[in-house]
């Protein structure tokens, strides 16, 4: 019986695998299990992250996504206009093109290229672009101004290089304009962009990065009125940064206009009279203290601050000798103009009544000092009128010595010396009326009779501003009232609200007025004898100012019987006498005032 033979399947050699055992089968299952676990872990991690982003960070991510397509375009308000007393424009706004950067639209890999190209076009340092953007934050949806008052060539270049300047655009804004250029610069001031320190101080008042604010003068003093309120738009942009639609907007509210007491024609006349002399001229209404003109030289054009100031421009300005200092508000020795105070102290004390006659000398010797008469000979016996007309040092030195330092100091302070007048300009200095306490503190030495005599002729430690001297001249002009200078009228106030009585005796006022009139008719003020000036009265002054040349002063008011204007001229280190140098400057301003009054312009 034959055995059945089963055929055997023979596999190709290439497909013959290893011999399978129970051990090798277990390893295959283990590998699958491991791969499965890894996959589950990966999927679980991704799922957890998605859940975190959706549930925990969902609102934040939504906001970021919105910011990528929704941006804010602030609309700066138009700043209020400043007018002179006759309604003529002193400061306004004009349209100009400004370059802006959208921080949120910048890409990390192209930001450096954008900065370099934009800095090249605007001709500014790269830091002037990086710093404001960094201050705003690269996630800020609000655009940042990096270049103002662009030229046509710069605007064209930004458009031509738009492919390299993603997130950069040009828009129109209002910038400050001063149509009369440097005329009235120290009164008007200028505007400028807030720096980081100023922003930190003003943020609580609603200021923001890029705000333009008043930095000096009326622009600074009345910032709260001129500023206005910001508006803006919330817009949706596409991937190219182009505005797709406006989502919402708030209209900007223009600032309030401000009318100041300055007279543009008189201001021009004052600046022309001052010319290139370093100094100041002040003109006020003696009845209420309204400032009609205030010139200071050297000066500047405030329009330069409406765009970026280059280091070269700034260096050139500083080389002109502190052009931003308003010398009408800085203290200098008032010289013989101060004799109005000395005469008042003598008359009011009762020790030297109106009929006083005193001898004058070549020198008045006190202790180790000698007060010289300016003519080096003396004038013989003199009364108040003659002594003021010829500006006798030894006459007024005897008055000062007789009344004593405390009385003289008291009257100086009653006239307003040694303290700010109260004008709105923040740069005003108080001047100096020294006393025993001050001298001991500064020099560890007591007040002496010599100090009193020096003060009696406006020398020594005494410092007065041209504006303070104008306030002093207003006292005899208006009948004994100290006025408070101001630049903006308050409709609710009358003349009496701007002044206070010094309670001078009628006899004191009579002597002062006759004395100041005699200065012009018979003394050192002959330069004011002009047909164009009705009956002026005034006083000259020449102050020693070592190591430089003497300062020249002259103050006057007119008409004598019913004064309308007080003018004070001061020339710093000019040399020459006050009557011969500063007197003609005062005459020129007064002639312009009365010429304008008699021939008013429409």
Residues 313 and 189 in one domain: no
Residues 390 and 305 in one domain: yes
Residues 230 and 368 in one domain: no
Does the residue 525 lie in any domain? Answer: yes
* Predicted confidence (pLDDT) per residue in 102-123, tens digit: 887 788 888 999 999 999 999 9
Number of domains in the chain: 2
Residue 235's pLDDT is 66
Residues 421 and 540 in one domain: yes
Given a cut of 50, whether residue 309 has pLDDT beyond it is: yes
Does the residue 44 lie in any domain? Answer: no
Given a cut of 70, whether residue 67 has pLDDT beyond it is: no
Average confidence (pLDDT) over 224-233: 84
Does the residue 418 lie in any domain? Answer: yes
Residues 242 and 282 in one domain: no
Average confidence (pLDDT) over 481-485: 98
Residue 353's pLDDT is 97
CA nearest to 123, candidates 302, 303, 306, 310: 310
Residue 355's pLDDT is 97
Residue 3's pLDDT is 44
* Predicted confidence (pLDDT) per residue in 322-332, tens digit: 899 999 999 99
Better-scored residue on pLDDT, 312 or 293: 293
| Lowest mean pLDDT across 2-11, 234-243, 517-526 | 2-11
CA nearest to 269, candidates 574, 480, 565, 492: 565
Percent above pLDDT 70 for the chain: 85
Average confidence (pLDDT) over 398-423: 97
**167 confidence band (pLDDT: 50, 70, 90):** confident
Last residue of a domain, one of 213, 235, 259: 259
Q: How many CA atoms lie within 13 A of 224 on its CB side?
A: 3
**447 confidence band (pLDDT: 50, 70, 90):** very high
Q: Return mean pLDDT, the chain.
A: 87
Does the residue 36 lie in any domain? Answer: no
Give 253's DSSP letter: B
Q: Which residue has the tokens 């106030």?
A: 493
CA nearest to 574, candidates 548, 595, 592, 597: 548
CA nearest to 225, candidates 199, 252, 259: 259
- The per-residue DSSP string of 8-39 comes to -----GGG--PPP-HHHHHHHHHHHHHHHHHH
CA distance 329 to 443: 26
Better-scored residue on pLDDT, 249 or 215: 215
Residues 254 and 346 in one domain: no
Does the residue 52 lie in any domain? Answer: no
Range of the structural domain that residue 203 is part of: 70-259
Residue 69's pLDDT is 66
Residue 416's pLDDT is 97
CA distance 362 to 374: 8
Residue 316's pLDDT is 80
Average confidence (pLDDT) over 424-433: 96
Residues 269 and 150 in one domain: no
**18 confidence band (pLDDT: 50, 70, 90):** very low
> Per this entry, what is the length of the chain?
602
Residues 280 and 236 in one domain: no
Does the residue 49 lie in any domain? Answer: no
CA distances from residue 206 to 141, 209, 211, 224, 387 in whole angstroms, order as listed: 18, 10, 10, 11, 59
Better-scored residue on pLDDT, 376 or 70: 376
Question: What pTM does this model have?
Answer: 0.84
Last residue of a domain, one of 259, 281, 315: 259
Given a cut of 70, whether residue 134 has pLDDT beyond it is: yes
What are 376's two structure tokens? 């080096």
Average confidence (pLDDT) over 28-54: 62
**15 confidence band (pLDDT: 50, 70, 90):** very low
* Predicted confidence (pLDDT) per residue in 151-161, tens digit: 999 999 999 99
Residue 312's pLDDT is 78
Last residue of a domain, one of 259, 284, 308: 259
Average confidence (pLDDT) over 269-274: 98
Residue 9's pLDDT is 42
CA 107 to centroid of chain Cα atoms: 39
Residues 274 and 238 in one domain: no
Residue 547's pLDDT is 85
Give 578's DSSP letter: I
Residues 552 and 452 in one domain: yes
Residue 454's pLDDT is 96
CA distance 418 to 76: 42
Helix then strand then coil, in percent of the chain rounded to 5, is 40, 20, 40
* Predicted confidence (pLDDT) per residue in 369-381, tens digit: 889 999 999 999 9
CA distances from residue 163 to 123, 157, 204, 241 in whole angstroms, order as listed: 19, 11, 39, 12
Better-scored residue on pLDDT, 263 or 33: 263
CA distance 113 to 119: 10
Residues 79 and 207 in one domain: yes
Helix (H, G, I), strand (E, B) or coil at 419: coil
Contact 537, 562 (CB under 8 A): no
Residue 135's pLDDT is 84
Better-scored residue on pLDDT, 15 or 206: 206
Percent above pLDDT 90 for the chain: 61
Does the residue 65 lie in any domain? Answer: no
CA distance 503 to 505: 7
**14 confidence band (pLDDT: 50, 70, 90):** very low
Given a cut of 80, whether residue 46 has pLDDT beyond it is: no
252: CATH: 3.90.1310.10
Q: Across 14-167, where does the E strand assignment appear?
A: 70-75, 82-83, 89-101, 144-147
Residue 138's pLDDT is 83
Contact 214, 189 (CB under 8 A): yes
Better-scored residue on pLDDT, 249 or 560: 560
Does the residue 187 lie in any domain? Answer: yes
Residue 16's pLDDT is 43
**194 confidence band (pLDDT: 50, 70, 90):** confident
Residue 55's pLDDT is 55
CA distance 320 to 298: 7
Residue 166's pLDDT is 84
Residues 409 and 539 in one domain: yes
**394 confidence band (pLDDT: 50, 70, 90):** very high
Average confidence (pLDDT) over 428-442: 97
Better-scored residue on pLDDT, 27 or 161: 161
| Lowest mean pLDDT across 25-29, 32-36, 158-162, 291-295 | 25-29
């Amino acid at each position: 019986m034959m055995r059945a033979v089963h055929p055997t399947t023979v596999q190709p050699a290439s497909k013959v695998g290893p011999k399978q055992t129970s051990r090798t089968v277990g390893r295959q299952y283990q590998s699958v299990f491991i791969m499965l676990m890894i996959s589950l872990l990966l999927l679980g991690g991704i799922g957890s992250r998605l859940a975190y982003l959706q549930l925990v960070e969902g609102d934040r991510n939504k906001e970021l996504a919105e910011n990528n397509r929704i941006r804010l375009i602030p609309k700066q308000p138009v700043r209020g206009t400043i007018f002179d007393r006759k309604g003529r424009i002193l400061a306004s706004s004009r349209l100009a093109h400004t370059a802006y950067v959208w921080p949120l639209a910048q890409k990390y890999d192209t930001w450096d290229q954008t900065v370099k190209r934009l800095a090249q076009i605007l001709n500014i340092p790269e830091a002037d672009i990086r710093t404001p953007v960094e201050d705003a934050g690269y996630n800020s949806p609000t655009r940042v101004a990096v270049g103002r008052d662009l030229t046509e060539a710069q605007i064209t270049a930004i458009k031509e290089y738009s492919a390299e300047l993603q997130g950069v655009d040009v828009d129109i804004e209002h910038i400050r304009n001063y149509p009369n250029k440097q005329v009235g610069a120290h009164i008007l001031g200028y505007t400028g962009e807030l720096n980081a320190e100023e922003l930190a101080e003003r943020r609580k008042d609603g200021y923001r990065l890029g705000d333009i604010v008043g930095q000096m003068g009326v622009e600074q003093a009345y910032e709260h009125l001129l500023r206005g309120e910001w508006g803006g738009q919330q817009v949706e942009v596409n991937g190219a940064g182009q505005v797709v639609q406006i989502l919402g907007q708030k209209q900007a509210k223009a600032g309030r206009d401000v009318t100041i007491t300055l007279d543009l024609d008189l201001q021009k006349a004052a600046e022309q009279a001052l010319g290139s002399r370093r100094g100041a001229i002040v003109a006020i209404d003696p009845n209420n203290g309204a400032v009609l003109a205030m010139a200071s030289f050297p000066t500047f054009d405030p329009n330069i601050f409406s765009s970026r100031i280059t280091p070269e421009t700034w260096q050139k300005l500083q080389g002109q000798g502190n052009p931003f200092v308003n010398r009408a508000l800085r203290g200098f020795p008032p010289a013989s103009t101060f004799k109005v105070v000395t005469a008042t102290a003598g008359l009011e004390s009762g020790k030297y009544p109106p009929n006083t006659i005193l001898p004058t000398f070549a020198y008045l010797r006190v202790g180790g000092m000698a007060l010289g008469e300016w003519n080096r000979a003396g004038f013989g016996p003199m009364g108040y009128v003659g002594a003021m007309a010829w500006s006798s040092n030894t006459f007024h030195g005897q008055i000062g010595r007789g009344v004593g330092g405390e009385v003289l100091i008291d009257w100086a302070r009653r006239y307003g010396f040694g303290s700010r007048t109260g004008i709105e300009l923040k740069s005003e200095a108080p001047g100096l009326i020294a006393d025993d306490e001050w001298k001991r503190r500064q020099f560890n030495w007591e007040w002496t009779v010599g100090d009193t005599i020096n003060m009696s002729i406006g020398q020594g430690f005494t410092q007065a501003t041209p504006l303070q001297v104008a306030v002093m001249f207003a006292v005899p002009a208006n009948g004994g009232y100290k006025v408070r200078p101001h630049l903006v009228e308050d409709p609710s106030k009358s003349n009496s609200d701007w002044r206070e009585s010094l309670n001078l005796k009628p006899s004191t006022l009579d002597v002062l007025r006759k004395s100041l009139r005699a200065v012009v008719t018979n003394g050192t003020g002959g330069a004011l004898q002009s047909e164009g000036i009705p009956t002026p009265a005034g006083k000259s002054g020449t102050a020693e100012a070592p190591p430089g040349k003497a300062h020249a002063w002259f103050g006057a008011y007119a008409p004598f019987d019913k004064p309308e204007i007080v003018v004070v001229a001061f020339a710093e280190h000019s040399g020459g006498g006050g009557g011969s140098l500063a007197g003609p400057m005062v005459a020129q301003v007064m002639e312009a005032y009365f010429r304008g009054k008699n021939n008013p312009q429409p």
